[in-house]
Amino acid sequence: QVHGLHGQSKPVLRSGAKPGDDIYVTGKIGDGALALLSLGLKSRLDFSLSKPIDRLSSEAKKYFYEAFYQPEPRVGLGLALGNSINSSIDISDGLMGDLGHILKASNVAAVIESESLPYSDYALDMVSKQSCLIAALFGGDDYELCFTASCGSERKIKTLAKELAVEVTKVGKIVEGSGVSVISGQGQVLDMSNQAYDHFRETAA
């Protein structure tokens, strides 16, 4: 366990998301789950490989190894954003599941634009784009930040991210209602069954 105290500024909770907020993620997402393939480990998700694992370059294998075993927490950006954002969570169980925690706490819904999700070049080279989407939404082990902020905060967010050399991508919108809708580039709602990791779900031996 890790315990701590916040400073004088108000802490950013999961419960602060509001309809109209933009949804952001840091870095690339999906690499943590796809790294299991490159490491020869079993994944609970089904991915469509674009090339055999043994044909991955040494650079790709190193990239995925570091993504899985040495993820970089975005503590600096999180502290810098402070009260410029309304809610935040880390992506440890997949974007769909962790964003879902924000939505439940804030009593709102979300629309995710599938074409906006940031994938690494190594991921796109190893698996299909559909598999990248599955990894990003349901894979976990990325430890990137997902946060929401009012649309008027975008310039400040992008400036802070640039100063700290952290990639930040706007991937959707907070709306009224409940649940997460994932839409294609043509605006169609995609049928994505929920495969987010559940720490308390029993699995067969």
Give per-residue pLDDT as tens, 3-20.
888 777 788 999 999 999
**How is residue 89 written in tokens?**
């969570």
CA distances from 64 to 42, 68, 69 (A): 15, 6, 8
Q: Tens digit of pLDDT for each residue in 47-87?
A: 878 877 888 899 999 999 999 999 999 999 999 998 899 99
Please state, rounded to an integer, the average pLDDT across all residues of the chain: 89
Q: Are 84 and 143 in contact (CB under 8 A)?
A: no
Cα gap 144→94, rounded to integer Å:
10
Q: What is the pLDDT of residue 20?
A: 97
Q: Are 64 and 139 in contact (CB under 8 A)?
A: no
**How is residue 109 written in tokens?**
């819904």
Cα gap 17→98, rounded to integer Å:
13
The fraction of the chain above a pLDDT of 90, given in percent, is: 70
Rounded to the nearest 10 degrees, how much is the dihedral formed by the CA atoms of 100, 204, 64, 115? -40
- Cβ atoms < 10 Å from Cβ of 156: 14
| Radius of gyration in angstroms for the set of CA atoms belonging to the chain, rounded to a whole number | 17
Q: What is the pLDDT of residue 66?
A: 95
Q: What is the pLDDT of residue 98?
A: 96
Top-confidence range, 53-57, 103-107, 135-139, 192-196 = 103-107
Statement: residue 148 has pLDDT above 60: yes
